[in-house]
Amino acid sequence: KQKILKGIFWEKRLSRAKFLFIFLFIILWSRFFYLQIIKHSYYYRKAKERSIISYVIRAPRGEIVTSDGIVVATNRAVFQLYLDPELIKDKEDEVLYRLSKILKEDFGSLKEKYYLAKKTFLGRVLIKRNLNWDEVAKIMVRRYYLPGVKVEVEAERYYPYGEAYFHLIGYISRITLKEYNKLKNKGYSIEDYIGRAGIEKMFERELKGKNGAIEIERDAYGRLGKIINRIKPIPGKNLVLTVNHNLQMKAYELLKNKKGAIVALSPKDGAILAMVSSPSINPQKFIDGFTEEEWKKISLNPDKPFLNRVLQPYPPGSTYKIITAIAGLEANVIKDVNETIFCPGYFKFKSRIFRCWKAIGHKNVNLIKAIAYSCDVYFYTVASKLDVDYLAKISRKWGLGKLTGLGWSEEKAGFVPNRAWKKKKFKEPWYPGETIIMGIGQGYLLTTPLQMARVYMAIANGGYLYKPYVVKEMKLNKNIITINPQIERHLVLDPRFLKWIKEGLLEAVRIGTGKLAFIPGLIVAGKTGTAQVISLSAKKDKFLEPHAWFVSYAGYSQPEIVSAILIEHGGHGGSVAAPLARKLYEAYFGIKELQ
């Protein structure tokens, strides 16, 4: 009986043990199933992250080429030294010290640069760019002792013509954390560079390309091993510009040591042939880096080298008299080309005296002579008979007071005043004397050099106001996208009026205020401008001198080029800006310079 009871006892114990074993087995199997099946992808990814590291291969930006085949923005292969903070935790100082010995740099300075970059940017830290072969060799043979260190061959942006193309091409710089968070879903990496101005900014999407990637094994110490996988980057599109390289370089040369702008257009389609603003900056410095002293000098420069003066508003001075003439003709204020106005050197309107730039006066002048000699009294008289709102309407019709359609964020619209604006702004009515001043391009009126070039383009080509454009083709391998010119509007002007204005512009260069732009054998027509920035009585130093303008077009049988030249505080347009136009046209047409 005892044996039977003992057997039952052990049988129960055994059953319980079996049940417990089966229960534990089920729990272990369930956990195993959860880890191996349900969470397989998660742990596979985590394991891979520990053994394999992935880096971005930045896509080469597209090249920028002028219409005559000169590459003005390209990429060059350089060795870049990176350090990955994730792979050298608690070893940073040790690795940096070894690198300082290889690079022959001060350890303290290298450490400071590393920690500053680590704080500023996510991801890998660029320790040194453009390594030489000797430095690369020394790093590669010591790789075992340099965990987290990677030497990459990358395509770095290169601007061979520096300052000459700064305001046209623009520049690129490293993407910020804020920009990265906004653009990461569009294929940007934290190591990318982004266009900041000009063509680089306007065509960022086309120039950027698509980044690739590389996967590399790493051991427990953070040392990098063999390459597991590589996805090739797709380069950005190449851009072919409308710009003529020789003309661009000549414009840059003409503006050296001056503060101003030159823009040249094709009257046939509005293509930009040259665009230069001075002073300028070498865009390569945004890649190579500025010293603290260099950056301070540029950022605090009162001449504002970042400013693209081609797209900034200025009082147009006498170059605007063409608009006043058109308004006078269309309003029948100027009834005939031979109708004369007597200029005694001043114009009296009620109790005010408005003076002509020529104190002794121009005597009797008709429309053509008034344009040629830039007679203020003639245009005072015409403007006094015009309503300011009508003059403003004609101005806007010819593209003033609004953006040109170029599409650049740097462009300003200028300003064309009217009665409603004056009432809203100053709580005052518009006075007739303000219309008289506006008639010679002064007062509240502001225009950009690009806008004035478009006005004269429309005169030169018979009334076609094209939107300016600078890229004519985009290329990727054998695929070519052509960008066609766009007409904003066809300005219908009485053929007689157009003929008279053209005659006046021709005479201005032949015998008038623009005669220093005259070139034998070439048709040059244009208008000078001397835009006062303060009253003459207050003039004390160079900074208060008037802006010098010359807007013109040139060609042999037909106009082939239009240009607007502005020299800030340069003095008189006829003596300062017109000679620059002559040199610009001599370069464009291959004419030997006149002595």
Q: Three-state SS string across 471-488, please?
A: EEEEEECCEEEECCCCEE
Please answer whether residues 532 and 440 qualify as being in contact, where contact means their C-beta atoms are separated by less than 8 angstroms.
no
Low-confidence ranges of the chain (pLDDT < 70): 1-10, 12, 35, 39-51, 120-122, 218-225, 534-543, 594-595
Which residues, other chains included, contact 115 with Cβ-Cβ below 8 Å and sequence gap of 6+? none
Annotated catalytic sites, by residue?
A: 318
Which residues, other chains included, contact 210 with Cβ-Cβ below 8 Å and sequence gap of 6+? 59, 187, 233, 234
Dump pLDDT digits (tens) for 403-413.
Answer: 999 999 999 99
Which structure tokens are listed for 331?
């309003």
Which residues, other chains included, contact 404 with Cβ-Cβ below 8 Å and sequence gap of 6+? 411, 448, 450, 451, 454, 467, 468
- Which residue type is seen at 542? K
What region, left, alpha or beta, does residue 443 occupy, with left being phi > 0 and alpha being psi -120 to 50 degrees? left
Dump pLDDT digits (tens) for 238-274.
Answer: 999 999 999 999 999 999 999 999 999 999 999 999 9
Cβ count within 10 A of residue 526: 29
Please answer whether residues 365 and 378 qualify as being in contact, where contact means their C-beta atoms are separated by less than 8 angstroms.
yes
> Greatest CA separation found in the chain?
150
Name the β-bridge partners of 185: none
Please answer whether residues 471 and 203 qualify as being in contact, where contact means their C-beta atoms are separated by less than 8 angstroms.
yes
Say what the pLDDT of residue 536 is: 47
Say what the pLDDT of residue 127 is: 82
Say what the pLDDT of residue 529 is: 97
Domains of the chain: 53-241 (3.90.1310.10), 245-589 (3.40.710.10)
Q: What is the pTM of this model?
A: 0.85
Say what the pLDDT of residue 28 is: 79
Which residues, other chains included, contact 234 with Cβ-Cβ below 8 Å and sequence gap of 6+? 59, 209, 210, 212
Please answer whether residues 270 and 575 qualify as being in contact, where contact means their C-beta atoms are separated by less than 8 angstroms.
no
β 64-65/238-241 pair status: parallel
